[in-house]
Structure 1
Amino acid sequence: MANVRIGRVGEQIKKEISQLIQYDLKDPRIGFVTITGVEVTGDFSQATIYLSIMGQEDEVKESIKALEKAKGFLRSELGKRIRLRHTPELIFKVDQSIAYGSKIEKLLQDIKEER
């Protein structure tokens, strides 16, 4: 039962953080950001948010810096939107799986064209 609740809370955090980044953050450094997943610890003290950011390497770094700076705002707004005893600390990590998948797809396409 606890795992079901952790999953539901993670999905709700994903939804709310996505909306906050898309509609409420006004920082121009934040590019095209997609939240690919959220992992919440068992005691709800930390939430690791996995991000996919489109753009060059320097644009990705600037977006991460802007999100790190807005972490307090995001956490306070999350606390207002989700009723938990303690609002989890937010940890942002870049998810490379989409870029990796695209690279593999391109390599497979190149092999197919060679034949």
Structure 2
Amino acid sequence: MVDQARARRIAERIKQLVTQGLTQVVKDERVGFITITDVRVTGDLQHASVFYTVLGTPEDRETAAEILATYRGRLRSFVGKGLGIRLTPSVEFILDALPEDAQHMDELLREVAARDAELAAARARGDFAGEPDPYRKPRTEEDGDAPDAPDAR
């Protein structure tokens, strides 16, 4: 049986250790701004997926991926020493797509707001399709077509 609470605690500890290891173990000036966003551990605690984001250009993302791949073994060793459990999980670094997804959602929301503004402007300057008051009213003499006087027979 998998202990979900223990797996969450270990995932959180791995997140802290990898973040700490980026400053202590990785001695590369090209690292840039890497942020560890999430860690997911399998139920048997044998594999950890570390999600990260990089602030910068796509070239910065590629450089960060290369650096993390190069230092993966050293970071795993650092995590193993800090965890204090019998088996150290294997570590896999995955670029988190959350910032790109959030940016796409922001663009969609801006587009929807612009369309709403266009519809509101069209609604404000719009007129009725027919007469302003479409309901029938009894004719009056002012209309010019006064009804005939009733026969007095």
- Structure 2 length as normaliser, TM-score? 0.69
Which blocks of at least 5 consecutive residues in structure 1 are unaligned?
Answer: none
Shift of 1:98: 1.8
**What is the Cα deviation at residue 22 of structure 1?**
3.3
What is the TM-score normalised by the length of structure 1? 0.90
1:112 offset after TM fit, Å? 2.3
User: Are residues 1:16 and 2:22 paired?
Assistant: no
Following superposition, the deviation at residue 44 of structure 1 comes to: 1.3
Tell me the alpha carbon deviations over residues 69-111 of structure 1, each in whole angstroms, 9 at most, x when there is no partner: 0011101111111101111110011110122112211331344
The corresponding residue for 1:107 is: 108
- Structure with more contact order per residue of length (Cα contacts < 8 Å, sep ≥ 6): 1
Which entry has the higher C-alpha Rg, 1 or 2?
A: 2
Number of residues paired by the alignment?
Answer: 115
**Could you say which structure has the higher helix fraction?**
1
Partner of 1:95: 96
Unaligned runs of 5+ in 2: 118-153
Identity %: 30
What SS does structure 2 have at the residue aligned with 1:72? helix
Which deviates further from its counterpart, 36-45 or 18-27? 18-27
**Correspondences of 1:1-115 after superposition (within 5 Å):** 2-113=3-114, 115=117
Q: Give CA-to-partner distance per residue, 1:41-83, whole Å, 9 cap, x none.
A: 1111110001111221121011011011001110111111110
CA distance in 2: counterparts of 1:32 and 1:43, whole angstroms: 31
Stretch of structure 1 that moved more, 63-72 or 99-108: 99-108
2:39 aligned counterpart, secondary structure = strand
- Cα RMSD (Å): 1.6
